[in-house]
């Protein structure tokens, strides 16, 4: 409902970063062209789906040839706003939070954890992986000053909702929620969940109940 490119399906939007990453790989490997079939093999998405996804942005390829890697790459770089750095806050510097601090988001995306918050006095004022840790009491102030609108939430579940409310106050628009809590947020915010326990548990369920494709043809499959 905003911006240039009109209404890409959500499912497509979720695959864009994936395409982008693999295109970068191809580029580094010196490949000049690529077909939807090749790309399909690499990212494990049906080739028709890939062509359809690309087609939302216009005709990016050439019939009988495929796609020019450099062109596609620079197109996606623009589309994904990879030219400007996106600053993100980390809220909660526990085990998982620390791991995410060390995880180099920058390498693949132009996204960086620029600031972190916690309540542990031992951590406050120190830096980890070059990121300064502030007290959560100063969260609103610091976020507003830095103009950060995206937060990664890795606090204990019982605090998740109240902290979310404060993030909303501080004009944060997006939360990547690693907490098991299901957050209530204003309509102006967007939450993506990564629920580790649910992910693991549902994998277990699938294996036990959907059983393991009774080796009929033994072709290669995915997800």
Partner DNA sequence: AGTTTTATGTGAAATGGATAACAATGTTTT
Partner DNA sequence: AAAACATTGTTATCCATTTCACATAAAACT
Annotated binding site: 92-97
Judged by CB under 8 A, the chain residues 107 through 166 that form the site for a second copy are 108-109, 111, 149-150, 152
Query: Which of DNA, a second copy, none interacts with 120 (beta carbon under 5 to 8 A by kind)?
Result: none
SS (H, E, C) 124-176: CCCEECCEEEEEHHHHHHHHHHHCCCEEEECCCHHHHHHHHHHHHHCCCCEEE
Q: Of the candidates 8, 35, 47, 60, which one interacts with a second copy according to CB under 8 A?
A: 8
Hey, what are 157's tokens? 């579940």
Strands 86-91 and 67-68: unpaired
Closer to DNA by Cβ: residue 112 or 193 = 193
Q: Of the candidates 16, 68, 74, 161, which one interacts with a second copy according to CB under 8 A?
A: 16
Q: Of the candidates 64, 130, 147, 211, which one interacts with DNA according to CB under 7 A?
A: 64
Q: Of the candidates 27, 38, 43, 170, which one interacts with a second copy according to CB under 8 A?
A: 43
- Please list the residues that pair with 134 across neighbouring strands: 117
Residue 33 CB burial class (10 angstroms; 0-12, 13-18, ≥19) = middle
Spatial separation of the C-alpha atoms in residues 130 and 142, rounded to whole Å: 17
By rule CB under 7 A, what count of residues binds DNA?
25
Q: Does 210 bind DNA (CB under 7 A)?
A: no
Query: Given the rule CB under 7 A, which residues bind DNA?
Result: 9-12, 35-37, 45-49, 51-52, 54-55, 59-67
């Amino acid at each position: 409902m905003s911006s240039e490119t009109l209404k890409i399906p959500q499912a497509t939007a979720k695959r864009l970063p994936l395409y982008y990453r693999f295109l970068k790989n191809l580029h580094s490997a010196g490949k000049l062209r690529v077909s939807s079939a090749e790309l399909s093999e690499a990212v494990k998405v049906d080739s028709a789906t890939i062509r359809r996804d690309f087609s939302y942005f216009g005709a990016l390829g050439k019939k009988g040839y495929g796609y020019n890697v450099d062109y596609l790459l620079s197109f996606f770089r623009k589309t994904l706003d990879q030219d400007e750095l996106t600053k993100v806050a980390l809220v909660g510097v526990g085990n998982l939070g620390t791991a995410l601090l060390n995880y180099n988001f920058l390498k693949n995306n132009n996204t960086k954890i620029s600031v972190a918050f916690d309540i542990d006095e031992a951590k406050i004022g120190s830096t980890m992986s070059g990121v300064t840790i502030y007290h959560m009491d100063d969260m609103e102030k610091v976020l507003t000053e830095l103009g950060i609108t995206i937060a990664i939430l890795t606090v204990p579940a019982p605090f998740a909702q109240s902290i979310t409310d404060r993030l909303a106050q501080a004009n944060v628009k997006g939360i990547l929620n690693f907490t098991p809590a299901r957050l209530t947020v204003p309509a102006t915010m967007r939450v993506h969940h990564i629920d580790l326990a649910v992910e693991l548990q549902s994998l277990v369920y699938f294996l036990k109940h959907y059983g393991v494709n009774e080796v009929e043809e033994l072709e290669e499959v995915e997800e």
